[in-house]
Amino acid sequence: MPFPFNIAATEGRARTGVLKTPRGDIRTPAFMPVGTAATVKAMSVDQVKATGADILLGNTYHLMLRPGPERMERLGGLHRFMGWDKPILTDSGGFQVMSLAGISKVTEEAVTFSSHIDGSKHVLSPERSIEIQADRIGADISMQLDECVAYPAEEPRARAAMELSARWAARSKAAFGTRETQALFGIQQGSTFENLRRELADRLIETGFDGYAIGGLAVGEGHAAMCEVLDYAPAMLPADRPRYLMGVGKPIDLVEAVYRGVDMFDCVLPTRAGRHGQAWTSEGPINLKNARFAEDQDPLDPTIEGPSSLYSKAYLHHLIRADEILGKTLLSWHNVAFFQTLTAAMREAITHGRFEQFRRDFHARHTSN
């Protein structure tokens, strides 16, 4: 295993630890801000670092279209290109296969799709995905290419995608080979069918990966159904390797997933919500567009380090209503900081055996989420 994963403490199924990489330690539970196109939207690298993020996520689909994988390599890879010297995880492009189903075609060999930018044709196979992620982009953690199905899915459709993902996992692993300074994660699919997820988990473990992701959630099934899957899915994956829940989610989703044994997360929600005026606070979410904040001189949330303690709600309300770029930046920055503060608080609670109380208190304040 190229990256040692040391679990420091557990409470029930919740755990906290450190995934050690050549570019720095990743403290778990960890939230990865999403840098879709070589940037966390509306934020500078220094601002992202200031929130306490240990790792970013880059999007293979978007980066392969623009600026392009070969250009990325000529420019020194994604770390150098965007000025981020900590770890980067890249997704494989599998989620975009689902979300762009109208302009893509899946075969045994590869996915063929049309660019949403200019209509140009592209082919993404497991081997090409690994080449782009590990060799061109230079990701510290690459993901196997998989097929993600939308919710709801009938069991035959979910099984077909699961079995294709298993075959693509083996091809991704063969293409990745053995590397000392880069890791490869497999992805468990199976929609909401426990038998399918167990079957794929067994096949992934047989193939052997450095970490394991839970895919195919946050695709419309809702919080309750997601939690039902997480009641069994994480325990199917090796306890001594990181477990990564892809594309999740709201703060309450993170707390419930950690409670069930998940270690890593990513989601565009903090920055997307920030650009539209929504902020998470220690007392729950608020919308700064609302007129009730027009003369509110209190800070957004003095418990969160960053801009939220420096500017009044009235000023942030003004910026958002005036559609000023600074407003989008400040709220995105605040929300990413909130998510990092949340994961730090969960690490602390698990370390001291207080996570169950933390979870109850969080539910009491954030049930409106």
Judge whether 332 and 366 are in contact, CB under 8 Å: no
Residue indicated by tokens 């083996």? 170
Ramachandran class of 114: left when φ > 0, alpha when ψ lies in -120 to 50, beta otherwise: beta
- CA-nearest of 89, 59, 49 to 333 is 49
Q: Is 266 known to be catalytic?
A: yes
* Active-site entry in 91, 140, 210, 301: 91
Alpha-carbon span 86 to 140, nearest angstrom: 9
Which entry of 25, 54, 146, 266 is annotated as an active-site residue? 266
Q: What share of the chain is helix, strand, coil (3-state, %, to 5)?
A: 45, 20, 35
The Cα–Cα gap between 281 and 304 comes to 8
Active-site residue 91, yes or no?
Answer: yes
Whether 203 and 227 have beta carbons less than 8 Å apart is answered as: no
Cα–Cα dist 139/79, whole Å: 8
Whether the Cβ atoms of residue 366 and residue 305 lie closer than 8 Å to each other: no
**Read out DSSP for 92-122?**
-SHHHHHHTGGGEEE-SS-EEEE-TTT--EE
Say if residues 239 and 168 touch (Cβ distance below 8 Å).
no
Phi-psi label, residue 24: left if phi above 0, alpha if psi -120 to 50, beta otherwise: left
Catalytically active residues are 91, 266
